[in-house]
Amino acid sequence: MTSSEVNTAMKIRTLARHLREGVKNLVRNGWMTFASVSAVAITLLILGVFLLLALNVNFIAQSIEKQVEVRVFIDSLADKPTIGQLEQKIKSLPKVQSVVFVSKEEGLKNLKEGMGEKAYLFEGLEKENPLPDSFVVKTKLPQETSEVALQIKEMPSVSSVDYGEGTVEKLFVATSTVRNVGIIFIVGLSFTAMFLIANTIKLTIVARRREIEIMKLVGATNWFIRWPFFVEGLLMGIVGALIPIALLGFGYAYLLDVVNANYVIPLFPLLPLFPLAYQVAVILLAIGAFIGIWGSLVSVRRFLRV
C-alpha cells in the first residue's frame, strides 16, 4: 500500500471517528441536545409560518396585478380596415404583450353574463347595441399599464381608454409595499432566529468546556476537537429543521383541503403545495444547518485558547 493510500485510509477513519463521536455526544448530552433541537424547531417553525404567509401574499399580489388591463374603446365611425390598422399600431408598441378585439355584440354578451340574475335589464339592446367595439390590451409588465394607456389614447380612431386610472397606481403602490414589508419582516425574523438558535447551541457547548480544555491539554489539534462539534451542530440544525418542515407541510396541505372544499377564499388563490413545500424545506434546512454549524464552531473557538 502506497503512502497516499495510507493517508487516504487514515483520513477516512478519522472522519468516521468524528461522525461517530458527534452522534454519541448528541445521545450522551440528551437534555442539552433536546433543548437545542427544540429551540431550532420552534424558531424555524415561526419563521416557516411567516415565510409561507409572505410567499402567498406575494402570489396574491401578482395574481391581482395580472388582472390589470387596458380597455380601448373604438370610435363608432371607424370601419373594419381602420380598426385593423389601429390593432396593428397597438401591437407594435414594445411594451404590449397581447391585443384582443371585442366586438360590441360580444361586449353585450359579457355584460349580461357579469350581471347574473339581473341580465334581464339589458334585454332588447341587441338591435340597438349602445356599446362600442373595443380592444383588451395586456402589457408585458403590469406596472407599464398607465404608460401604454397614455400612448394608445393619442392614437386616431380611439374614443376613450379605461385602465382604472388612479386606482391602478394605488394598487401597484400597495402591492409593492406589501412585498417590501414582507421581505424586511422575513429578513429580520431570520436574523432573530439565527441569534436565538446560535445562543442556545452555545449554551450546549459551554456546558462541556471542561471536556474541550482537557482534549486541548492532552495534545489534540484544534480541528480534531472542532469536527465532532461540527457534526453535532449540523445534526441539531437538520433535525430541528425537519420537525417544522413536517408540521408546515401537513398543516398547509390541510389548509388547502379546507379552502378547496369550502371555497373559503375564491378571490385570493393560494400557492399549490408543490413546489412550495420543496422551496420552504430547502430554505429551512439550509438555515438550520448553517446556524447549527456556525453556533457550534464559534462557541468552541472560545475554549481552544488554553
Least confident of 4-18, 41-55, 56-70, 288-302: 4-18
Which band of pLDDT confidence, cut at 50, 70 and 90, is reported for residue 204?
A: low
* Maximal CA-CA distance, the chain: 101
- Using DSSP, state whether 96 is helix, strand or coil: strand
Q: What's the rounded mean pLDDT across residues 67-71?
A: 84
pLDDT at 248: 92
Most confident of 19-23, 47-51, 254-258, 280-284: 280-284
pLDDT of 21 > 90? The answer is no
Q: Is residue 4 part of a domain?
A: no
Q: Is residue 10 part of a domain?
A: no
Q: What's the rounded mean pLDDT across residues 287-298?
A: 78
State the amino acid at position 22 in one-letter form: G
Question: What is the tally of structural domains in the chain?
Answer: 2
Nearest to 239, CA basis, from 23, 14, 17, 18: 23
Least confident of 17-31, 77-91, 200-214, 249-263: 17-31
Give the end of a domain, one of 142, 162, 182. Answer: 162
Q: Could you read off the pLDDT of 241-285 as tens digits, one per residue?
A: 899 999 999 999 888 887 776 655 455 677 888 888 898 899 889
Which band of pLDDT confidence, cut at 50, 70 and 90, is reported for residue 303?
A: low
Q: Is residue 255 part of a domain?
A: yes
Q: Which domain holds residue 58?
A: 15-64+171-301
Pair 93, 153: CB distance under 8 Å: no
C-alpha grid cell for residue 9?
485510509
Q: Is residue 25 part of a domain?
A: yes
Nearest to 239, CA basis, from 19, 24, 35: 35
Give the end of a domain, one of 130, 162, 194. Answer: 162
